[in-house]
C-alpha cells in the first residue's frame, strides 16, 4: 500500500511540475524533496527508495550539470536536428520573416493568457471615418443597381467611377499628407464590408487599390520622387492602379514566375539610357483593363554587371504607365458573371529606364519580400471584410425572407429543416465578423498578421460560401432565377472567386496556416533554426542547449496540461469570464494545450517531411484556426458588454468551432504513422473520449428565432451593412416590411381559424377578407394591413422573366433598348 502511495505522490509531483511548466532546477528540488520525505519516513522500503534515488541521480545530475548535459545529450540532438530540418524555399523563408506574431503565438504555448487578449480593446471608428460611412459610402450604395452593373454594363456606371475618385475611395490607406484619407484598418474593413455586401463588383474595385496595389508598396519602399508623383494621383483617382503578379506558368509559387527583365542600355526619349528590357505575360489581374499605372513583378537579370556583380538578382518590382510602348492591356476576363475589371497584361521587349523600378535600384531582388509584407496586411482585410459584408447581407435578407415567405400557412423559417440552415447562417456570420474585426484591429496595433491573415482569408471565404449555400437552399426558386429581384445569384456565382484569389484556399489550408505558424509562432522552433546558423561552435551548442531543454519542458507541459485539463473539463485552468463564458475559456485552454502538444509531436515525427504531409498540416491548421476564431468571438462578446441576448449565437458558433477542433486533432492522431503510439496520444489528448458535440436542436431553434424578428441582437449581427429600402434594393425593402408581416400574423391566424370553422368562405384572399370584415372578425385597419402585407409579400417572393432579346442584350443591337427599358422600370 505504501509503495502505491509513494509512486502516486512521485507521479503527482511530476505532473504538477509539468502542468506549471517548472524549470529543471525546480523539478529537481521538488522530486528530491518527495524522495527525502519518504526516506526519512522509512517508507516504502529500502529497495524502492534506493532504486528511486539511483534513477533520480542518474537523471538529475547530468540535467543540472550543463557541461555534461551539452556533451552527452545536446550535441547528439543538435546533429540529428540539423539533419532533419526541412529545406525552406526562398518563398517560404521570405514569408516566415515578413510577418509578426500576435495572439496566435499564445496558442502555441499551450497556456494562452486570456486576460491580455480581452483587456486589449478592439479599435473603433473615428468620428471622421463614421461620417465617411454615413455620407459618401451610403451615397455610393444608393447609386448602385447591381443587375445593371452585372448584366447590362459589365462595368460600373461612369457616375460611380467619378464618385469613387472624387471622394477618395482609392486612397483610403494613403496618408493625408499625400492627399489620401489616411483611414485605419478597421475603417478600411467597414467600407469594404458595406459596399461588398451591396455589390461584389464594387467591393473588388475598391479593395484592390487599398490592398495589394502600388500605394501600399510605395508607402513602404518607394523613392521620394515616386511617392510625391504617384501617391497624390492615386489618392484623387487620376491614376487607377493594378498589380501584375500571377503569370501563366506560376501562380502560388510566385518566385517561379517566368516573366523577366534584363538590365541593358536602350533608347529612351531619344537618348541612350540604362534600363531594363522586359518580357511578361500576366493574367487574372484585377483592374488591369481600366488601370493607368501597372505594378509589375518579374525576375531581374544583370548579365553584363551594369548595376552590380550578381547576374540573377531575383524578384523585382516596377511601375509602368499604361501607355508604355510594347505593353498590351485592356482585354477582359469574365470571372463567373462578376464583371469587376480583370484581365491579362502582356509585354514584349518593353524597355523602361531604371527610374521605373519601385524603390529604385536599392530594392532590386527584394520584390517577393516587399509583396509578402504588403500582402499579409491586404489579405487580413480585403477578402475577410468583403466576405463578412456578404454574409451579413445574406443573413439579414434570409431571416426576413424566411419570415415573409409562407408555406402550409406558416413562415418557412418555422420549419425545423430551415431552422437548421438559419442557425448555421447566424453562427458563421457571427464567427467571421469577429474574426475579420480582430484581424483588422491587429493591423491597427502595428502588426503584420501573416498567420491570422491566412486564417481570416481562408475561413471568411469558406464560411461565407456556406452561408450563401444555406441561403440559396432556403430561397429555393427565388434564389436561382436571375434578375433585378434576385439578391443572391451573383454572390453565389462569385463565391469560388474569393476562394481562389490571394492564395487558393487549398494551398492556404494545406501549407500556409500551420506551415507558417509552426515555425513562426512556436515559442522555440524558429529560435532553434536560427541557432543552427551560429558559426561559433561553442556558442551554437550553448544556445541550442538552452532552447532544447526549454522546448522539451514545453512539450511535456503541454502533454500534461492536455491530459489534466481534458480529464477535468478544464477546471484547473485559470481563466476569465462569467458563469456562462468561463466554460468556453476552459475548453480553449484545454484544446490549446492539446494542439501545442500534437504540433510538437508532428514536427518531431515528420521532421523535414512535414511539408509534404499536407493533410496533417491542414488538420493542425484547422485546429489552430478554430481556436483562434473562438478567441475572436469571445473577445467580441466581451467588448460588446456580454449582451445576454447574443449568448445563443455565441454558444452555437463556439460549439460548432470546438467540435471541428476536436475532429481536426482526432484526425491527426488517427493518421499517426505508428499505430502503437495512437492509444497513448488519445489518452493524452482525449482522456475521457471525444466529448464535443455539434450544437443541439434546442440551441439551433433559439438562434433561428433571433433571425426571424427585428431585435438588437439581429442589428448587432448585421451591423454596418447597407439597409436602405429604396426601389431596386430588395433587402432593404424586406427589412422595412418585416415588422408589418409580424404584426399581420395574428390576423392571419384569426382569418384561418374562421375559414376552418366555416364562418367565412370565398375563393380568393380578397373575398375571404371581405367576408371576415362583414362578420366583424376583422376591422377596417386589419383588412388594410393584411391587403398591404399580402401585396408587398408577393412582390418579395416574385421573380423576373425576360424577353429572349433582352437576354441577348450583351450580343445584339437590342442591348441599348433593353438597358433603357430596365432603367425606366427601375
Q: Which of the residues are catalytic?
A: 502
Sign of the Cα pseudo-torsion (741, 744, 749, 753, in order): negative
DSSP H helical ranges for 222-347: 224-235
Specify the pairing of strand 260-268 against strand 271-286.
antiparallel
> Three-class SS of residue 315?
strand
DSSP H helical ranges for 644-692: 647-670, 678-685
Specify the pairing of strand 406-407 against strand 293-301.
unpaired
Burial of 166 (0-12, 13-18, 19+ CB in 10 A): exposed
Query: With DSSP H G I counted as helix, E B as strand and the rest as coil, what are the percentages for the chain, rounded to 5?
Result: 65, 10, 25
CB 681 within 8 Å of CB 669: yes
CB 629 within 8 Å of CB 434: yes
Question: How does 460-470 read in b/e, with b if 16+ C-beta sit within 10 Å?
Answer: bbbbbbbbbeb
Cα–Cα distance list, 466 to 192, 199, 505 (Å): 20, 19, 14
Residue 238's nearest CA partner among 271, 209, 200 is: 209
How far apart are alpha carbons 768 and 754 in whole angstroms?
9
Residue 606's nearest CA partner among 518, 507, 705, 732 is: 518
Question: How does 757-771 read in b/e, with b if 16+ C-beta sit within 10 Å?
Answer: eeebeeeeeeebbeb
Cα–Cα distance list, 569 to 74, 584, 585 (Å): 37, 10, 11
How far apart are alpha carbons 614 and 595 in whole angstroms?
17
Cα–Cα distance list, 468 to 66, 168, 501, 579, 814 (Å): 60, 31, 18, 34, 33
Give the number of other CB atoms < 10 A from CB of residue 682.
17
Give the number of other CB atoms < 10 A from CB of residue 71.
13
Grid cell for residue 646:
447574443
Give the number of other CB atoms < 10 A from CB of residue 701.
16
How far apart are alpha carbons 217 and 173 in whole angstroms?
11
Torsion angles phi and psi, residue 620, rounded to 5: -65, -35
How far apart are alpha carbons 578 and 503 in whole angstroms?
39
CB 690 within 8 Å of CB 698: no
Give the number of other CB atoms < 10 A from CB of residue 301.
19
Give the number of other CB atoms < 10 A from CB of residue 549.
18
> Three-class SS of residue 124?
coil
Specify the pairing of strand 260-268 against strand 293-301.
parallel
Which H or E run includes 498?
A: helix 489-500
How far apart are alpha carbons 374 and 98 in whole angstroms?
9
Amino acid at each position: 500500500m505504501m509503495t502505491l502511495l509513494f509512486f502516486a505522490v512521485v507521479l503527482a509531483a511530476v505532473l504538477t511540475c509539468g502542468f506549471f511548466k517548472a524549470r529543471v532546477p525546480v523539478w529537481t528540488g521538488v522530486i528530491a524533496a518527495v524522495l527525502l520525505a519518504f526516506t526519512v519516513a522509512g517508507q516504502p522500503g529500502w529497495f524502492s527508495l534506493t532504486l528511486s534515488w539511483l534513477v533520480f541521480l542518474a537523471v538529475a545530475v547530468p540535467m543540472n550539470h550543463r557541461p555534461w548535459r551539452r556533451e552527452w545529450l545536446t550535441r547528439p540532438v543538435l546533429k540529428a536536428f540539423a539533419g532533419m530540418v526541412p529545406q525552406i524555399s526562398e518563398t517560404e523563408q521570405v514569408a516566415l520573416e515578413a510577418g509578426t506574431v500576435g495572439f496566435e503565438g499564445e496558442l502555441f504555448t499551450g497556456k494562452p493568457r486570456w486576460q491580455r487578449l480581452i483587456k486589449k480593446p478592439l479599435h473603433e471608428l473615428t468620428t471622421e471615418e463614421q461620417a465617411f460611412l454615413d455620407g459618401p459610402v451610403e451615397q455610393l450604395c444608393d447609386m448602385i443597381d447591381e443587375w445593371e452593373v452585372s448584366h447590362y454594363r459589365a462595368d460600373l456606371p461612369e457616375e460611380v467611377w467619378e464618385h469613387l475618385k472624387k471622394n477618395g475611395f482609392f486612397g483610403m490607406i494613403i496618408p493625408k499628407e499625400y492627399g489620401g484619407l489616411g483611414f485605419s484598418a478597421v475603417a478600411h474593413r467597414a467600407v469594404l464590408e458595406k459596399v461588398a455586401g451591396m455589390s461584389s463588383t464594387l467591393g473588388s474595385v475598391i479593395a484592390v487599390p487599398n490592398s495589394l496595389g502600388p500605394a501600399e508598396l510605395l508607402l513602404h519602399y518607394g523613392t521620394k520622387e515616386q511617392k510625391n508623383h504617384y501617391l497624390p494621383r492615386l489618392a484623387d483617382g487620376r491614376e487607377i492602379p493594378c498589380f501584375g503578379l500571377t503569370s501563366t506558368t506560376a501562380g502560388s509559387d510566385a518566385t517561379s514566375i517566368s516573366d523577366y527583365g534584363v538590365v541593358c542600355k536602350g533608347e529612351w526619349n531619344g537618348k541612350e539610357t540604362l534600363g531594363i528590357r522586359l518580357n511578361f505575360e500576366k493574367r487574372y489581374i484585377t483592374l488591369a483593363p481600366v488601370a493607368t499605372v501597372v505594378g509589375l513583378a518579374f525576375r531581374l537579370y544583370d548579365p553584363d554587371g551594369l548595376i552590380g556583380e550578381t547576374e540573377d538578382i531575383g524578384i523585382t518590382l516596377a511601375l509602368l504607365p499604361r501607355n508604355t510602348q510594347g505593353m498590351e492591356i485592356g482585354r477582359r476576363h469574365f470571372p463567373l458573371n462578376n464583371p469587376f475589371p480583370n484581365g491579362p497584361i502582356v509585354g514584349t521587349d518593353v524597355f523602361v529606364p531604371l527610374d521605373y523600378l519601385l524603390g529604385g535600384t536599392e530594392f532590386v531582388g527584394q520584390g517577393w519580400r516587399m509583396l509578402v509584407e504588403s500582402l499579409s496586411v491586404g489579405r487580413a482585410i480585403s477578402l475577410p471584410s468583403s466576405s463578412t459584408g456578404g454574409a451579413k447581407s445574406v443573413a439579414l435578407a434570409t431571416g426576413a425572407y424566411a419570415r415573409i415567405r409562407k408555406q402550409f400557412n406558416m413562415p418557412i423559417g418555422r420549419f425545423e429543416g430551415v431552422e437548421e440552415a438559419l442557425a448555421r447562417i447566424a453562427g458563421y456570420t457571427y464567427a467571421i465578423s469577429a474574426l475579420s474585426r480582430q484581424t483588422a484591429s491587429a493591423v491597427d496595433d502595428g502588426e503584420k498578421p501573416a498567420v491570422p491573415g491566412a486564417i481570416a482569408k481562408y475561413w471568411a471565404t469558406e464560411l461565407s460560401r456556406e452561408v450563401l449555400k444555406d441561403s440559396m437552399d432556403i430561397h429555393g426558386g427565388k434564389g436561382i432565377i436571375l434578375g433585378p429581384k434576385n439578391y443572391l445569384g451573383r454572390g453565389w456565382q462569385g463565391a469560388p472567386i474569393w476562394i481562389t484569389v490571394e492564395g487558393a484556399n487549398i494551398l492556404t489550408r494545406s501549407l500556409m496556416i500551420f506551415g507558417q505558424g509552426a515555425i513562426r509562432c512556436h515559442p522555440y522552433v524558429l529560435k532553434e533554426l536560427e541557432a543552427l546558423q551560429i558559426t561559433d561552435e561553442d556558442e551554437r551548442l550553448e544556445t541550442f542547449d538552452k532552447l532544447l531543454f526549454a522546448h522539451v519542458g514545453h512539450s511535456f507541459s503541454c502533454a500534461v496540461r492536455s491530459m489534466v485539463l481534458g480529464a477535468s473539463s478544464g477546471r484547473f485552468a485559470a481563466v476569465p469570464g462569467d458563469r456562462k463564458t468561463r466554460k468556453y475559456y476552459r475548453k480553449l485552454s484545454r484544446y490549446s494545450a492539446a494542439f501545442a502538444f500534437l504540433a510538437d509531436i508532428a514536427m518531431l515525427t515528420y521532421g523535414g517531411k512535414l511539408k509534404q504531409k499536407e493533410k496533417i498540416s491542414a488538420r493542425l491548421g484547422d485546429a489552430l484556426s478554430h481556436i483562434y476564431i473562438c478567441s475572436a468571438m469571445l473577445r467580441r462578446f466581451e467588448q460588446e458588454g456580454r449582451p445576454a441576448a447574443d449568448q445563443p449565437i455565441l454558444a452555437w458558433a463556439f460549439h460548432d468551432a470546438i467540435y471541428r477542433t476536436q475532429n481536426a486533432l482526432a484526425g491527426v492522431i488517427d493518421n499517426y504513422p505508428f499505430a502503437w503510439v495512437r492509444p497513448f496520444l488519445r489518452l493524452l489528448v482525449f482522456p475521457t473520449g471525444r466529448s464535443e458535440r455539434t450544437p443541439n436542436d434546442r440551441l439551433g431553434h433559439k438562434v433561428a428565432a433571433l433571425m426571424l424578428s427585428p431585435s438588437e441582437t439581429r442589428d448587432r449581427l448585421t451591423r454596418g451593412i447597407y439597409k436602405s429600402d429604396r426601389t431596386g434594393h430588395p433587402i432593404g425593402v424586406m427589412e422595412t416590411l418585416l415588422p408589418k408581416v409580424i404584426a399581420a400574423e395574428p390576423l392571419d391566424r384569426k382569418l384561418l381559424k374562421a375559414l376552418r370553422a366555416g364562418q367565412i368562405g370565398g375563393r380568393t384572399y380578397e373575398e375571404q377578407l371581405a367576408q371576415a370584415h362583414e362578420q366583424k372578425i376583422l376591422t377596417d385597419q386589419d383588412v388594410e394591413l393584411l391587403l398591404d402585407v399580402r401585396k408587398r409579400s408577393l412582390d418579395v417572393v416574385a421573380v423576373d422573366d425576360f424577353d429572349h432579346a433582352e437576354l441577348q442584350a450583351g450580343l445584339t443591337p437590342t442591348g441599348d433598348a433593353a438597358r433603357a427599358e430596365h432603367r425606366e422600370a427601375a
